[in-house]
């Protein structure tokens, strides 16, 4: 948001179904967060709903690639050209995912990756900022280097560096960068092991999906995703809560996901947000995430034996009741 010079009076449109970092980046600049609905099929930001919320104050749109599956970036590119607004890809969950043969995070004006401990590629904390716009890149370098033009100095473009603008220390330590370098070298192995678990879940739960008792994740044909999250949806919040209890009782680390930001305590009070987003609320209330990390590939048979059995038994019991 600093690189785009977003500030008071500006608006940035994003999904409410996202982590707080997306909104914090806007709030910290004194700008207004505008939440839009998600597509219930992919849980990604709905470009049609976004366009309804564009105003003269809209400075940027922030699509979030949920679960590593790409948003409709073609639609967002058209929206950007039509209204003259910037596209900032929240690709925190989407390292090594593609849409139409292009890596997510490289399609919009800016892409943001996360290397947090919960992500596919990790060094514990930190991330990466991607842009193909020279002016944005120049501002971002200064911001990352404590407000100095040190990067230009290191490239030999200036004979000394000094304070040239506002900034902070937004760079990885050398130790974290070394960890990340090793992770990046293993990214195909990591992706393949996650794929084994993701596809095993999908196959094991297919029968329940065909009976319309659950809804499995949808991956559009043009998307090559990174198997970051395996989730499914049930019919109601009550069913979700009961199923989570049953899975956790069997030692399966299932959980819900984001509390929509528009309905959070901060969203309702400090942001004075009174938006109604019924699709977002319904999706959030019915999502269940199953455990997924590379090490599970070694125990996928026992995991798959336990998970669908527990889900099917609990849902059959509720249906009978």
Average pLDDT, the chain: 93
CB atoms within 10 A of CB 252: 16
Residue 313 — pLDDT band, cuts 50, 70, 90?
A: confident
Please write the tens of the pLDDT for every residue from 235-260. Answer: 999 999 999 999 999 888 999 999 99
Question: Using an 8 Å Cβ cutoff, are 59 and 4 in contact?
Answer: yes
Instruction: Determine the angle formed by the axes of helices 300-320 and 187-210, rounding to 10 degrees.
Output: 30
3-state secondary structure of 231: strand
Q: Going along 265-318, which residue ranges are E strands?
A: 287-290
| Residue 315 clears pLDDT 70, i.e. is over it | no
The first and second tokens of residue 209, run together, are 């999906």
Q: Give the per-residue pLDDT at 287.
A: 97
Look at residues 10, 17, 59 and name the one whose alpha carbon lies nearest to residue 35: 17
Options 119, 185, 245, 272, the catalytic residue: 119
Question: Using an 8 Å Cβ cutoff, are 303 and 296 in contact?
Answer: yes
CB atoms within 10 A of CB 305: 11
Q: Give the per-residue pLDDT at 301.
A: 85
Look at residues 39, 28, 89, 32 and name the one whose alpha carbon lies nearest to residue 56: 32
The reply to whether CATH 3.90.1150.10 applies to domain 187-320 is: yes
Q: Give the per-residue pLDDT at 317.
A: 57
75, with CB counted inside 10 A (0-12, 13-18, 19+), is middle
* Cα separation, 207 vs 7, whole angstroms: 50
Q: Give the per-residue pLDDT at 269.
A: 82
Please write the tens of the pLDDT for every residue from 197-235. Answer: 999 999 999 999 999 999 999 999 999 999 999 999 999
Instruction: Determine the angle formed by the axes of helices 237-249 and 278-286, rounding to 10 degrees.
Output: 20
* Helix or strand holding residue 197 (H, E): helix 187-210
Q: Give 9 or 305, the one with higher predicted confidence.
A: 9
Please write the tens of the pLDDT for every residue from 82-125. Answer: 999 999 999 999 999 999 999 999 999 999 999 999 999 999 99
* Cα separation, 289 vs 256, whole angstroms: 6
> How much is the pTM?
0.93
- Is residue 119 part of the annotated active site? The answer reads yes
The reply to whether CATH 1.25.60.10 applies to domain 11-185 is: no
Please write the tens of the pLDDT for every residue from 46-93. Answer: 999 999 999 999 999 999 999 999 999 999 999 999 999 999 999 999
Q: Give 272 or 33, the one with higher predicted confidence.
A: 33
Please write the tens of the pLDDT for every residue from 254-310. Answer: 999 999 999 998 888 877 667 799 999 999 999 999 999 999 999 888 887 777 777
Q: Taking the domains of the chain in order of start, what are their residue ranges?
A: 11-185, 187-320
């Amino acid at each position: 948001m600093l690189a785009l010079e977003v500030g008071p009076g500006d608006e940035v449109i994003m999904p409410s179904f996202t982590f707080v970092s997306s909104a914090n980046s806007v709030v910290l600049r004194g700008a207004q967060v505008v939440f839009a609905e998600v597509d219930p099929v992919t849980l990604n930001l709905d470009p049609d709903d976004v366009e309804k919320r564009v105003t003269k104050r809209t400075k940027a749109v922030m699509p979030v690639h949920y679960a590593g599956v790409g948003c409709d970036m073609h639609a967002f590119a058209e929206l950007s050209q039509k209204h003259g607004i910037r596209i900032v890809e929240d690709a925190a969950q989407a390292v090594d995912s593609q849409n139409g043969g292009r890596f997510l995070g490289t399609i919009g004006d800016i892409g943001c990756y996360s290397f947090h401990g919960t992500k596919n590629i990790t060094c514990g904390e930190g991330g990466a900022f991607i842009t193909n716009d020279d002016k944005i890149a120049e501002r971002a370098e200064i911001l990352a280097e404590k407000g100095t033009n040190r990067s230009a100095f290191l490239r030999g473009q200036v004979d000394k560096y000094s304070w040239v603008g506002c900034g902070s220390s937004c760079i990885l330590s050398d130790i974290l960068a070394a960890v990340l370098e090793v992770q990046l070298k293993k990214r195909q192995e990591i992706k393949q092991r996650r794929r084994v678990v993701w596809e095993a879940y999908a196959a094991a739960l297919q029968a329940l999906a065909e009976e319309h008792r659950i809804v499995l994740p949808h991956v559009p044909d043009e998307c090559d995703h990174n198997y970051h999250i395996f989730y499914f949806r049930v019919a109601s919040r009550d069913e979700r809560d009961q199923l989570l209890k049953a899975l956790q009782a069997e030692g399966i680390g299932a959980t819900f996901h984001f509390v929509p930001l528009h309905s959070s305590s901060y969203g309702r009070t400090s942001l004075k947000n009174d938006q109604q987003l019924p699709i977002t609320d319904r999706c959030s209330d019915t999502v269940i995430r199953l455990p997924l990390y590379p090490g599970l590939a070694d125990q996928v048979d026992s995991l798959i034996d336990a998970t669908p059995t527990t889900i099917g038994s609990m849902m059959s019991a509720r249906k009978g009741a």
